[in-house]
Amino acid sequence: MTETIQITDSHCHLDFDVFDANRDQVVQRAVDAGVARMVTICTKLRLEPQVRAIAEAHAPVFYAAGTHPMSAADEPMASVDELVTLSQHPKFVGIGETGLDYHYTADSKAVQQQSLRIHIAAARETGLPLIIHARDADEDMARILSEEHAKGAFSCVMHCFSSSAALARAALDLGFYLSMSGIAAFPRSADLREIFAAAPVDRVLVETDAPYLAPPPHRGRTNEPAYTVHTAKVGAEVFGMDWPDFAAQTEANFNRLFTKAANYKAAA
């Protein structure tokens, strides 16, 4: 029997209510497909207990927490101390998602930028990777990441990367990672695939952002972590690699960035 190739869904949202009726089955389908680990992301800190509970209930699931930029103006401002305290949980492996989104919420630019800098400080203090959401804010994002990195190094992944080649270069020049979502598998995303193809393959992760952005052949349906495989196989084509080799590379990349998840040992 052929061993199933293992990959990681580095970003999903298993707490969303679309999964309430079948969360256990969704996790199991992912494992059956070869998605051995999932990082479920809390986007509002008041919901952290529910997200933490999902990670605690499912061995393959880890979690991260932060304030999503689209919620930054409506939620209490996070503090570095609050994020550092949350990070003490053994399955808490990243800070965020945070970032900038000027597509629908440009009126809260200043609050978003303040929140982003707080999350960066927490990532710097904890040593955990920052998880960035960036949309229609490339110049400010590149500037803030560069300014903050100059104050003190931190690690970072540009989640669901679909921004410009310039922002990709800026992030990569800082030593950061780009994460490939189902968007990169869409037929009309040739330009985005070219951006990934120009990136070092040892700086690429894969994700679903489930329940959003299902890749073909599931486009238009609820996305789930099992579908990471479809995006990752497109990634293998983008880099001209055999599927097992690309899967192994993304696993090595994830383990290098998310060291806490890589070193996690379940309590006996």
For residue range 203-262, list pLDDT tens digits in order: 999 999 999 999 999 999 999 999 999 999 999 999 999 999 999 999 999 999 999 999
Q: What confidence score (pLDDT) does residue 268 get?
A: 46
Binding residues for a divalent metal cation are 11, 13, 97, 133, 159, 209
Question: Would you state the torsion angle of the CA atoms of residues 233, 178, 28, 262, taken in this order, to the nearest 10 degrees?
Answer: 120
Query: Quick one: what percent of the chain has pLDDT higher than 90?
Result: 97
Cα-based angle 44, 9, 26 (whole degrees, multiple of 5): 80
Dist CA 230 CA 227 (whole Å): 5
Cα-based angle 99, 228, 129 (whole degrees, multiple of 5): 35
Q: Where does the pLDDT of residue 116 fall: very low under 50, low under 70, confident under 90, or very high at 90 and above?
A: very high
Q: Where does the pLDDT of residue 265 fall: very low under 50, low under 70, confident under 90, or very high at 90 and above?
A: confident
For residue range 175-218, list pLDDT tens digits in order: 999 999 999 999 999 999 999 999 999 999 999 999 999 999 99
Binding residues are 11, 13, 97, 133, 159, 209
Residue 227 φ/ψ, nearest 5 degrees: -80, -5
Q: What confidence score (pLDDT) does residue 4 get?
A: 81
Mean pLDDT rounded to a whole number for the chain: 97
Dist CA 257 CA 131 (whole Å): 11
CB 69 within 8 A of CB 114: no
pTM over 0.85: yes
> What's the fold here for domain 7-262?
TIM Barrel (3.20.20)
